[in-house]
């Protein structure tokens, strides 16, 4: 412990925080007027830095994403680094990455809501927003990677003169349906709890903002019937969106697992991908919460070390679960003894791209296991920022290992190949990162990023109760 304190000498001791329930947001209530004012200020404050970022990222989207994509469409896929036999490269890697990121919103918001985890309250919306924009960025990739994107509608089921319908046995059609379902439902799931907050914003704005919020708030007043309906709908969504979320990443994993490719055809890919997605998603939530906390006004009131602490525990659990699934997949592939699979496993660990494999293991297992057991580290936002960023690097490399590195090393050594992404691909990938950040940045000034009514509801429900000589936090259920 002494070494710990030395290493992180700047950290405050947490002994007192633990005793003082004020450290917890729910026991540090402020009047609703105050909360509203803080959230509104958060939305309306735009600094020079904000505009610079917004313009920079917007330009990034236009040039890096749409410029490069347009160039690729007009010239053909030869500008990518794809070659026989590696027909899927970083586009699919990034696709899986974004779909993975999008799992956090649902996980944090729906699962924690169903299980009534109170620490979720201040950041459910930030996580849901991440889901929606992560999906928006990810859903571009199935289009980007198409050889003939201009006929993408052949995949869409609609009556047509050709009598032809999509092949409902193809995982790519499942992908289309699942991503559409998930994108629509997560957008609605973002919107429903937002309505009361939009009404709050409507009451506090004038001009064009006022008319926009007025339309979006659907005439929300807050009557009993409206609340009842909203709670009912949120309840339906929270329960129904969880299986949708599981199905989405399972189907993404089936893109690989239904194939005959050695190293892909694995029965454990479904849960393995889901756990990986939640690991990278929850990590991305922490990354984003840190950024929000350090850039948005008043966010440090809403986001406290306790939240990083709780999410850190979750990440540690999911890192362990990920390691379990990874080892399962590895061991059984190795034990199965199929020559091609063993060659691939050897190539991953000792081949020319072995650094990818080792970095993945270090980022996904070693770093979280060595750090996140420590309460002090978990409660230090900037350290959590770095750790979670590294976990996402690790998760990106996991997908890179699974896709191009496995494809290049199949059953016939005559057809082995190495894949290196080319500038156009890297530009498009960076472009979607710009897109995600840009959308998030713009949205952070357009909608209340903290669900005020949920925070207030939580603060009303929390009380300190005297049990013997101790004051114990207790939660009353208001519904």
Partner 1 sequence: MAEVSKGIAEKWGLVVDQDRCTGCNACVVACSMENNVPFTGEDNVAFGRGTYWIYNKRMWEGAYPEVAPAFQPVMCQQCGSAPCEPVCPTFAAVHSEEEQINLQIYNRCIGTRYCANNCPYHARQFNFQDPDIPEPMNSYLNPDVTIRRRGVMEKCTFCVQRIVAGRQTASAEDRPLRDGEVTPACVAACPSGALVFGDLSDPSSRVSQMAQNERQYKLMDELGTRPKVTYLKGGGRNGG
Partner 2 sequence: MKLKKPWWNQPGIQIASVLVALIIVGGIVGGIFLTQTPPEQPIAFPHNRHVAIGASCLYCHTGATLGPSAGLPGIEKCWGCHQQVQKQSPELTKLAGYVERNEAIPWVPVAIQPDFVHFKHSPHLNAGLQCSACHGDLSKMKVAEPQKGQNMGWCLQCHKNTAPEQWTKLSDCATCHY
Partner 3 sequence: MYTKVVHMALFKEEQLDHAAESITRLRSLGISDKDISVISGIPFSEKILDRPMNWTNVGRIGVAGAVLGFITALLLNFGTPFLYPLRVADMPIFFPIPTSIVVTFELVMLGLLISTFIGVFVETISPSYGPQGYHPKVSDGHIAILFSGPMDLDQQFHSTFAELGATLEHDVEEEKLWL
Q: Residues interacting with partner 2, by CB under 8 A?
A: 160-164, 206-208, 211
Phi, psi of 470, deg, nearest 5: -100, 150
Between residue 256 and residue 275, which ones bind partner 3 under the rule CB under 8 A?
none
Residue 154 near partner 3 by CB under 8 A? no
**Least separation, in Å, of the C-beta of 223 and partner 3?**
5
Q: b/e string for 136-160 if b means 16 or more Cβ within 10 A?
A: bbbbbbbebbbeeeeeeeebeeeee
CA-wise closest residue to 82 among 416, 429, 419: 419
Number of residues interacting with partner 1: please give it, by CB under 8 A: 41
Residue 188 near partner 3 by CB under 8 A? yes
Residue 32 near partner 3 by CB under 8 A? yes
**Least separation, in Å, of the C-beta of 356 and partner 1?**
19
Q: With respect to partner 1, which residue has the nearer C-beta, 58 or 171?
A: 171
Q: Which stretch binds partner 1 (CB under 8 A): 52-60, 103-111, 112-120, 413-421?
A: 413-421
Contact between 258 and 308 under an 8 Å Cβ cutoff? The reply is: no
The alpha carbon torsion through 201, 111, 371, 130 (nearest 10 deg) reads -40
**Least separation, in Å, of the C-beta of 142 and partner 1?**
8
Residue 75 near partner 1 by CB under 8 A? yes
Between residue 189 and residue 228, which ones bind partner 3 under the rule CB under 8 A?
191-192, 196, 199-200, 202-204, 214-215, 217-228
**Least separation, in Å, of the C-beta of 273 and partner 1?**
17
Distance CA 335, CA 332 (A): 5
Q: Label residue 117 left, alpha or beta by phi (over 0 means left) and psi (-120 to 50 means alpha).
A: beta
CA 350 to chain centre: 31
| 206 interface partner picked from partner 2, partner 1, partner 3, none, CB below 5 to 8 A per type | partner 2
Residue 260 near partner 1 by CB under 8 A? yes
Contact between 61 and 431 under an 8 Å Cβ cutoff? The reply is: yes
Q: b/e string for 18-52 if b means 16 or more Cβ within 10 A?
A: eeeeebbbbbebeeeeebbebbbebbeeeeeebee
Residue 181 near partner 1 by CB under 8 A? no
Both tokens of 258, joined, read 């239904």
Q: With respect to partner 2, which residue has the nearer C-beta, 153 or 414?
A: 153
Q: Which stretch binds partner 3 (CB under 8 A): 108-116, 239-247, 380-388, 431-439?
A: 239-247
Distance CA 362, CA 323 (A): 11
Distance CA 28, CA 50 (A): 30
Residue 152 near partner 1 by CB under 8 A? yes
Q: Which stretch binds partner 3 (CB under 8 A): 12-20, 127-135, 177-185, 312-320?
A: 177-185
Contact between 282 and 127 under an 8 Å Cβ cutoff? The reply is: no
**Least separation, in Å, of the C-beta of 150 and partner 2?**
15
Binding partner 3 (rule: CB under 8 A), the pick from 229, 358, 464, 465 is 229
3 state SS of 38: helix
Distance CA 156, CA 176 (A): 8
Q: With respect to partner 2, which residue has the nearer C-beta, 164 or 225?
A: 164
Q: With respect to partner 3, which residue has the nearer C-beta, 180 or 420?
A: 180
Phi, psi of 79, deg, nearest 5: -75, -15
- Give the strand pairing for 470-475 and 462-467: antiparallel
CA 217 to chain centre: 26
Binding partner 3 (rule: CB under 8 A), the pick from 7, 149, 236, 464 is 236
Query: DSSP state, 13?
Result: P
Place of tokens 């991305």: 284
Residues 439, 440, 445, 448, CA torsion sign: positive
Binding partner 1 (rule: CB under 8 A), the pick from 9, 147, 159, 468 is 147
Residue 82 near partner 1 by CB under 8 A? yes
Q: Which residues bind to partner 1, rule: CB under 8 A? A: 75-78, 82-85, 87-88, 142, 145-149, 151-152, 154-155, 164, 166-167, 169-173, 176, 255, 258-261, 407, 410-412, 414-415, 417
Q: Which residues bind partner 3 (CB under 8 A)?
A: 31-33, 36, 157, 163-165, 167-169, 173-174, 177-178, 180-181, 184-185, 188, 191-192, 196, 199-200, 202-204, 214-215, 217-233, 236-237, 240-241, 243-244, 247, 251, 453, 456-457, 460, 478-479
């Amino acid at each position: 412990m002494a070494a710990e304190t030395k290493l992180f000498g700047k950290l405050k001791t947490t002994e007192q925080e633990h005793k003082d329930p004020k450290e917890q947001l729910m026991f540090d209530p402020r009047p609703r007027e105050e909360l509203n004012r803080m959230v509104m200020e958060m939305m309306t404050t735009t600094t020079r830095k904000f505009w610079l970022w917004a313009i920079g990222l917007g330009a990034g989207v236009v040039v890096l994403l749409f410029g490069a994509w347009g160039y690729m469409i007009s010239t053909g896929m030869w500008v990518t680094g794809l070659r026989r036999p590696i027909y899927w490269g970083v586009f699919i890697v990034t696709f899986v990455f974004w779909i993975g990121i999008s799992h956090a919103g649902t996980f944090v918001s729906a699962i924690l809501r169903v299980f009534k985890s109170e620490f979720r309250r201040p950041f459910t919306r930030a996580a849901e927003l991440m889901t929606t924009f992560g999906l928006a960025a990810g859903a571009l990739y199935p289009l980007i990677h198409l050889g003939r994107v201009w006929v993408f509608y052949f995949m869409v089921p609609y009556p047509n003169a050709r009598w032809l319908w999509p092949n409902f046995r193809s995982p790519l059609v499942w992908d289309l349906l699942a991503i559409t379902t998930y994108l629509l439902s997560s957008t609605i799931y973002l919107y429903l709890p937002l309505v009361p907050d939009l009404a709050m914003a409507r009451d506090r704005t004038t001009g064009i903002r006022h008319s926009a919020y007025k339309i979006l708030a659907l005439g929300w007043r807050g009557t009993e019937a409206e609340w009842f309906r909203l709670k009912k709908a949120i309840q339906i969504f929270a329960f129904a969106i969880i299986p949708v979320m599981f199905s989405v990443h399972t189907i993404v994993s089936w893109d690989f697992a239904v194939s005959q490719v050695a190293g892909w055809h694995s029965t454990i890919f479904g849960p393995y991908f889901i756990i990986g997605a939640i690991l990278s998603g929850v990590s991305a939530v922490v990354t984003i919460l840190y950024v929000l906390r350090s850039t948005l006004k008043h966010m440090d009131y809403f986001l406290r070390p306790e939240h990083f602490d709780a999410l850190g525990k979750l990440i540690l659990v999911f890192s362990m679960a990920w390691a379990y699934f990874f080892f399962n997949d590895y061991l059984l592939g190795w034990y199965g003894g199929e020559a091609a699979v063993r060659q691939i496993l050897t190539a991953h660990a000792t081949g020319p791209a072995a650094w990818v494999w080792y970095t993945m293991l270090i980022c996904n297992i070693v770093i979280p296991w060595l750090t996140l057991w420590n309460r002090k580290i978990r409660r230090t936002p900037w350290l959590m920022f770095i750790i979670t960023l590294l976990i996402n690097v690790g998760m990106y490399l996991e997908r890179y290992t699974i896709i191009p590195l496995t494809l290049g090393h199949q059953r016939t050594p005559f057809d082995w190949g190495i894949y290196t992404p080319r500038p156009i691909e890297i530009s498009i990938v960076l472009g979607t990162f710009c897109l995600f950040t840009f959308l998030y940045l713009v949205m952070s000034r357009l909608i209340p990023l903290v669900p005020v009514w949920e925070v207030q509801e939580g603060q009303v429900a929390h009380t300190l109760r005297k049990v013997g000589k101790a004051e114990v936090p207790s939660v009353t259920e208001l519904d």
